[in-house]
Amino acid sequence: MEMPEIRKASNPIELARRWAELKNAEPKLRVRDAADRLGVREAELVATGCLEGKAIRLDVEMATLIKRMPDLGEVMALTRNDSVVHEKVGRYDKIDINPHVGIVLNEEIDLRLFPKHWHHFFAVSEPVQDGVRRSIQCFDAAGDAVHKVYLRPESSVDAFERLVAEFRAEDQSGVLALRERAPKPADLPDAEIDVAGFRAAWKALDDTHNFFGLLKKFKVGRLQALRLAGTDLAERVSAGALRFALEKAAERRLPIMVFVGNEGCIQIHSGPVSRTAAMGPWFNVLDPGFNLHIREDHIDQAWVVRKPTVDGIVTSLEIFDKDKQLILTMFGLRKPGIPEDEGWRTLVAEFPKRELETAR
């Protein structure tokens, strides 16, 4: 496969000036949204901070960096995609990373890492109203955020400064070489999919982790797979099922699992949720150790998906955007060796049904 072409680098001085003007006009604008408005990638905006010492480019391998995160103590881990932001407070621990995949398996901070997508690293120190907000920010080859780690009052600033000093890159120019994002491959026509073989293999699953391999084996896209599987395995429900699920889980104190990710990182919340709130286009969970922010206007399809395991059927709610990309997955809280919680199954059965589509 050919590598995507390199984007023309932005002039960091000019970009910094344009960003400053935008921030003065809209001080609450998020950096990712600012990048979209300015026609650049988020990493390019962060790199402009190198001109003033607010950002320090790091020369470090992803595995080395993640293995130093426990030194920081309690932090806030943030993983997002275009539609959902997932924030967890806790400590990094139980870290295992090889060249292909990594894992952080602490009770609060639970991550799945895919190292080939981690390319650009910065330590950022931003002046804020009550001091300085420090973070480690990691980006992919196209300049989109993969994962961020924000220090909290309890975090070790000394450990942060030691890390920055050790891995400070020689080049602090603010010029960033990025690649164009490769287009997503199109699904094969339905007629070329062995639907009967795929359904049979799906029904023979004994572990949910084997589902991705099943998609690759049968060369079927994820959303295409749900559409072809049959309603016994996958059933489309209302796009409002996600808000319904979060509100009811909060009311019933029903523990859930929420997976949010991008190509380089998946972040998982396991436990109850309490406070939910709608704010403009965003629907939010606003709990002390867990925040979730969902752009509801980005939700195009919601599916209930059932996968066999050695512990019985496991049911998930999968949320997709208009580009057929999976943006969030929710399960009832469970551990290997324990059947799915009946409270979660009851909630799934109550999901609002899909509205009839109007003719276009």
* Same domain for 265 and 223: yes
Strand partners, 255: none
* Same domain for 247 and 154: no
Is residue 91 included in any domain, yes or no? Answer: no
Q: Is residue 240 over pLDDT 60? A: yes
Give the model confidence (pLDDT) of 249-258 as tens digits.
999 999 999 9
* Same domain for 198 and 147: no
Element (H, E) at 136: strand 131-139
Is residue 274 included in any domain, yes or no? Answer: yes
Q: Kindly indicate the confidence band of residue 89, based on its pLDDT and cuts at 50, 70 and 90.
A: very high
Is residue 359 included in any domain, yes or no? Answer: no
What is the average pLDDT across 331-337? 92
* Same domain for 277 and 308: yes
**Residue carrying the six token digits 């003033």:** 52
- Number of domains making up the chain: 2
Give the model confidence (pLDDT) of 147-172 as tens digits.
999 999 999 999 999 999 999 999 99
Is residue 96 included in any domain, yes or no? Answer: no
Q: What are phi and psi of 32, to 5 degrees?
A: -65, -40
Q: Is residue 69 over pLDDT 60? A: yes
Give the model confidence (pLDDT) of 33-65 as tens digits.
999 999 999 999 999 999 999 999 999 999 999
pLDDT confidence of residue 356: 52
pLDDT confidence of residue 77: 98
Element (H, E) at 36: helix 31-38
* Same domain for 340 and 221: yes
Q: DSSP letters along 164-185, please?
A: HHHHB-S--SS----BPPPPPP
Q: Kindly indicate the confidence band of residue 288, based on its pLDDT and cuts at 50, 70 and 90.
A: very high
* Same domain for 199 and 333: yes
What is the average pLDDT across 71-96? 98
Q: Is 14 exposed, middle or buried (0-12, 13-18, 19+ CB in 10 A)?
A: exposed
Q: What are phi and psi of 79, to 5 degrees?
A: -130, 140
Indicate left, alpha or beta for 122 from its phi (over 0: left) and psi (-120 to 50: alpha): beta
d(CA 351, CA 178): 42
Q: Kindly indicate the confidence band of residue 359, based on its pLDDT and cuts at 50, 70 and 90.
A: very low
* Same domain for 271 and 234: yes
Q: Percent of the chain at pLDDT above 70?
A: 96
Domain of residue 337: give its range.
Answer: 190-349
Is residue 231 included in any domain, yes or no? Answer: yes
Domain C-terminal end among 103, 134, 167: 167
* Same domain for 261 and 331: yes
In Å, what is the CA distance from 2 to each residue of 59, 117, 180, 319? 25, 16, 12, 30
Is residue 181 included in any domain, yes or no? Answer: no
* Same domain for 280 and 234: yes
* Same domain for 277 and 209: yes
Give the model confidence (pLDDT) of 198-215 as tens digits.
999 999 999 999 999 999
pLDDT confidence of residue 336: 85
Q: Is residue 8 over pLDDT 90? A: no
Is residue 95 included in any domain, yes or no? Answer: no
pLDDT confidence of residue 299: 98
* Same domain for 19 and 160: yes
* Same domain for 289 and 254: yes
What is the average pLDDT across 90-106? 97
Hey, is 358 helix, strand or coil?
coil
pLDDT confidence of residue 49: 96
Average pLDDT for the chain: 94
Q: Kindly indicate the confidence band of residue 181, based on its pLDDT and cuts at 50, 70 and 90.
A: confident
Record the pTM. Answer: 0.94
Is residue 94 included in any domain, yes or no? Answer: no
Q: DSSP letters along 200-269, please?
A: HHHHT-S-GGGHHHHHHHHT--HHHHHHHH-TTTEEEE-TTHHHHHHHHHHHHT--EEEEEE-SSEEEEE
Q: Kindly indicate the confidence band of residue 360, based on its pLDDT and cuts at 50, 70 and 90.
A: very low
CATH number for the domain spanning 318: value is 3.40.1570.10
Q: Is 63 exposed, middle or buried (0-12, 13-18, 19+ CB in 10 A)?
A: middle
Q: Percent of the chain at pLDDT above 90?
A: 88
